[in-house]
Amino acid sequence: MRILALDGALARCAAAIVIDGQIAAVRQVLVDRGHAGLLPSLVEAVLVQSGLGVRELDAIAVTVGPGSFTGLRAALALAHGLGTGAGLPVVGVGIAEAMAEALPALGGRQLWVAIDSRRGRIFLHRMGHHGGAPEPTALDALPIPDTRVAIAGDAAIEVAARLAAMDCNVMLTDVRLPPIRQVALVAARRLAGDLPPLPAQPLYVDPPEAKLPAGGLRPAPQAR
């Protein structure tokens, strides 16, 4: 299976061609902003490197969050545009799913994925807890684990330090961002029916900050 994997959810843009589970081409750039401008060039580069055209792919995998509002939308818009143009399925992949795929052997520890929301809080995804949905959590109000845990994500270092200070049995992993190969692997499992469907739409934990004006939107201009 030939999959184009895209990620713009956090402080990185990444694109890769993954063929039968192995990376054939990859481009990654650490960046806080500008995802919309970078991602198309990364996709073009991996297609050239792999020698494939978009229509020769079998699917497009894209991370859905939680993460940066702009980065998520940029990656998803590109994925859907390419998928529509080439008639390919676009498969959503959660950040925590990709990280869990990269950490198959945790010695019985529960995986916690901690994502920095940049608001003095984190999005905490406790795999297997409450259906696995990410929760907005203040750093000063972290839940106390009732089992041994392993921490991944871009806020993992701070979360692991705080839990260790509370005498919790915690292990810090080296996974900070969703590995792009694992994004494709999760998508392949989803396409095979081994995982439930996940819409390729942004996964927002907090409500959007933008609000409609009190007086409503201005009417559309009239054609002359």
- Residue-wise pLDDT tens digits, 87-138: 999 999 999 999 999 999 899 999 999 999 877 789 999 987 655 678 899 9
Q: Is residue 88 part of a domain?
A: yes
The total of structural domains in the chain comes to 2
Q: What is the pLDDT of residue 185?
A: 98
Domain that holds residue 150: 104-172
In a domain, 224, yes or no: no
| Per-residue pLDDT, 98 | 97
Residue 63 lies in a domain: yes
- In terms of Cβ atoms closer than 10 Å to its own Cβ (0-12, 13-18, 19+), residue 195 is middle
Residue 222's CB: how many other CB atoms inside 10 A? 5
User: Do 80 and 110 share a domain, yes or no?
Assistant: no
Same domain for 147 and 79, yes or no, is no
On the question of pLDDT at 222 being above 70, the answer is no
Helix (H, G, I), strand (E, B) or coil at 221: coil
Q: Are 79 and 150 members of one domain?
A: no
Does residue 28 share a domain with residue 135?
A: no
| Torsion sign over Cα 112, 116, 119, 123 | negative
pLDDT at residue 210, rounded to an integer: 47
